[in-house]
Chain A
Amino acid sequence: MKDKAIIVEGLGKKYRLGQETKSKRYKTIQEEIINFPKRFLKNLKTDITEFWALKDVSFEVKQGEVLGIIGRNGAGKSTLLKILSRITDPTEGHIDIYGRVGSLLEVGTGFHPELTGRENIYLSGAILGLKRWEINNKFDEIVQFSEIESFLDTPSKHYSSGMYMRLAFSVAAHLEPEILVVDEVLAVGDMAFQKKCLGKMQEVSKDGRTILFVSHDMGAIIRICSRAIIMKDGKTVFDDIPTNAINEYSKLIEDNHQLTTSVYHYESITLDERLKIFKINRVEILNSADGRFTVHWQEAIKLMVEFQISEDILDLVFGFGLKTQTGQYLFVNHCNFQKDLDIEKLLTGRHSIIVECPGFLSPGIYSIVLGAEHNIGHENIFHFESLNLKILEYSIDGMTKGLNLPGYFNIPVQFQILT
């Protein structure tokens, strides 16, 4: 039997409300003085302004296991990783960790845009827990993996966002802790780079190291994890092999459909500020079937995406695609394939784009993939795919024909019988 790497018992994390809201978590002395008498009164009453981000979480991870953690935004995944990484203390319960923990909660931790690539490798490496001699030993390997050799002595602020991310990930990829904790950092970067990162993670897991991996990308969970847990409202609700967990998760989403409206307001995922050239504010389904993120079977999918860009972009390429619940791409299409569309230059500010996709999908839940890249260099500046769309089981006129057929598509096929 393998040894345990992590034992989590009765873990809970409480935030005082207002502590969580980004705007103001610290106080001023003035407030403290004003609140002083109030605090006395408050202590007498029960404190209603608290909020448990995690409650009664218990699980164990064996050495060498690769554990996927899935769940919706706000389910407590990130809080769990923060406690495991020792960034914040739990409010109750305890965790036993056997081995050194390396955590990767963000791409480019410690990077400074004014420093050169070389300087950033040393700085970020040290912050992530590498000793100087380790960085010296691995330096060439890191540079090679990042593919930025010729820009090594250029300040990182002159890097394109793709280069910046490649370098940042390369440093992190060369950490060698016994336990690796990874938040959703692979959600950025172009496809080739994402593949490379996943490959690296698979390699790491083969070395017998323990990995905890949070992702919305079910494909990645299936490929690299040996077990997955589902988190919901601060609790672990399911724990099994990845395929079962993903099936369960799809059901969970279906039961309690992610969105109760046809409008989605974007929550920012952990990204370096510098990479946020392109930001989605709002996604709306224009022909929603029932006021949620749904469309009727055989109906075209009409989306309006409102976004803002923080610098003028020449030749923006906008992409739309759909994935299955298990993370498999069904298709992706780019707006530059459309001849009559002309986005020459988009100025800094807010813009909207309307996407229309014919209704050829079978009923079920799919995840929408939205992306943007610079036409020149095909550099990914935005990628987002945790938005689910449900194709209802019936068409707009109530037809439900062909429901039980296998497969994802409803492609009209012509049959002709020759006698």
Chain B
Amino acid sequence: MSTDHHHIILKPRSGWAALNVKELWEYRDVMYMLALRDVKLRYKQTSLGIIWVILQPLAAGIIFTIIFGKFARMPSDGHPYLLFVFCGLSSWYFFSAAILRAGNSLITDTKLITKVYFPRLLVPLSSTLAVLIDFLVMLILLFLIMFIYQQPYSGTIFLLPIFIFLTILLATGVSLWLSALNVKYRDFIYAMPFLVQIWMFASPVVYATSIIPEKWRIIYALNPVTGIIEGMRLCFLGESSLDSLMFIISLVLSLLIFISGAFYFRRVEREFADII
């Protein structure tokens, strides 16, 4: 039994740490299994089961259509409101569900953190992965709605993978920040639902960016979700308020939040077992 190849040194650590992607890959089974657990648990003992995945966003979309589309007459840049709102909702729904679930993930899995070792990053990552199914379902619904409204596709639909990727990147980045902060400051448990709510109305989910006065657009675009949602609209509707500046801001901020989140997480994770 040769063990020479496996030598670890445990000693006090301080400061920033490398991400250790190799180790994450080695433990990838843990991420799949935790994500699978989350998905299985979510609708256990519900009679509708997996149908809820479709029902929840669909109901939200319809309610938004009635309230904001019909009563409030929010402008949708001339597109059917349901379709318009669904473009935004698909990304937003995944984004908000991911940060809410992943934000609490370490607290929910306290027993794992204090009883066994594996890269802690896998806990929020698996939560995000588990919600990815909902994103997929939303996108399928979106294509269905496109079909129902008999909307023609333009070439911009091929940009879709870019915006899906951006959504996942940003959601993961914010999740890493929130989950790590939540261990130390439990305030986030209570603050997160508000944060999500405010964030939604600060993003063009139920309205179009075009209602924002031109001079405020740049500031508005500093919310990275703006670029993503307008990007989704560009893909499906063939036109939106997305310009290259908005796109670059969104891309750079998402990357920054993701990278800083991962490093912040690595920096504070060694304290988790002691303070959780």
By a beta-carbon cutoff of 8 Å, the part of chain A in contact with chain B is 3, 5, 15, 19, 25-30, 32, 63, 82-101, 103, 105-106, 109-110, 112, 114-115, 119, 122-123, 126-129, 131-132, 178, 208
A188 to B: closest C-beta gap in Å: 15
Chain B residues positioned under 8 Å from A114 (CB to CB): 40-41, 44-45
Task: From the candidates A27, A101, A178, name the one contacting B184 in the complex (CB within 8 A).
Answer: A27
- Give Cα A115–Cα B186 distance, bound, in whole angstroms: 28
Is residue B160 within 8 Å, beta carbon to beta carbon, of the partner chain? Answer: no
Task: From the candidates B12, B40, B183, name the one contacting A89 in the complex (CB within 8 A).
Answer: B12
Q: Does the CB pair A94–B10 fall under 8 Å?
A: yes
A272: nearest residue on chain B (CB-CB)?
B111
5 closest Cβ contacts across the A-B interface? Answer: A94-B11, A99-B3, A86-B117, A126-B33, A95-B10
Is residue B1 within 8 Å, beta carbon to beta carbon, of the partner chain? Answer: yes
A83 to B: closest C-beta gap in Å: 6
Supplied contacts A26-B276, A112-B37, A119-B37, 13 more A-B pairs, CB within 8 Å = A25-B274, A26-B184, A26-B275, A89-B10, A94-B9, A94-B10, A94-B11, A101-B8, A103-B116, A103-B117, A110-B112, A114-B44, A178-B1
B121 to A: closest C-beta gap in Å: 14
Given contacts A93-B11, A97-B7, contact A27 B115 (CB under 8 A): no
Question: Which one of B41, B116, B184 has the highest number of Cβ atoms from chain A below 10 Å of its Cβ?
Answer: B116
Interface residues of B, CB < 8 Å — how many?
40
Is residue B118 within 8 Å, beta carbon to beta carbon, of the partner chain? Answer: yes
Is residue B22 within 8 Å, beta carbon to beta carbon, of the partner chain? Answer: no
Q: Does the CB pair A112–B3 fall under 8 Å?
A: no
Chain A residues positioned under 8 Å from B70 (CB to CB): none
Q: Does the CB pair B6–A105 fall under 8 Å?
A: no
Q: Does the CB pair B112–A29 fall under 8 Å?
A: no
For chain B, residues 223 to 276, give those with C-beta under 8 angstroms from any C-beta of chain A.
270, 273-276
B158 to A: closest C-beta gap in Å: 35
Chain B residues positioned under 8 Å from A208 (CB to CB): 1
Contact code string B53-73 (vs A, CB < 8 Å = 1, else 0): 000000000000000000000
Chain B residues positioned under 8 Å from A106 (CB to CB): 111, 115
B37: nearest residue on chain A (CB-CB)?
A123
Can you report 23 A-B residue pairs in the complex whose CB atoms are below 8 A from each other?
A19-B274, A26-B186, A28-B185, A28-B186, A32-B185, A88-B273, A89-B10, A89-B13, A89-B270, A94-B9, A95-B9, A98-B4, A99-B3, A100-B6, A103-B116, A106-B115, A112-B41, A115-B37, A123-B33, A123-B36, A127-B30, A131-B29, A178-B1
Chain A residues positioned under 8 Å from B32 (CB to CB): 126
Q: Does the CB pair B185–A95 fall under 8 Å?
A: no
Given contacts A28-B186, A98-B3, contact A83 B10 (CB under 8 A): yes
